[in-house]
Amino acid sequence: MRAINEAHIAEPGLAVVEIAAADTATALAVQAVLAGQWATAMADRTHREPGEPGVRLTCYLDVRQEPDS
C-alpha cells in the first residue's frame, strides 16, 4: 500500500480506501459502488504491486457529503 498523505485523513469523515481485486474492471466497479454512496475522488486506473496478485486502486472518500455535492 502506498503511504497515506496526512491531508487525506486530516479530519473525521475523510477516508482512504485501497481496493484489491483480480482485475481492473472489478476494482473500478467497486469504486463506482463507493462513489454512489459518498463523495469520492475517483481513480481512473489501477496499479500492480510487484510480487502480489491482482491489481490495486486507491480512492479517497468524504463520508460527510452526498455524491455530486
pLDDT on residue 46: 95
Domain range list for the chain: 7-62
Burial of 24 (0-12, 13-18, 19+ CB in 10 A): middle
Helix (H) or strand (E) holding 27: helix 24-37
Q: Which pLDDT belongs to residue 2?
A: 64
Contact status, residue 63 vs residue 13, Cβ threshold 8 Å: yes
pLDDT digits (tens, 9 = 90+) for 4-30: 667 666 689 899 999 999 999 999 999
Of 57, 50, 62, which is closest to residue 26 (Cα–Cα)?
57
| 67 pLDDT higher than 70 | no
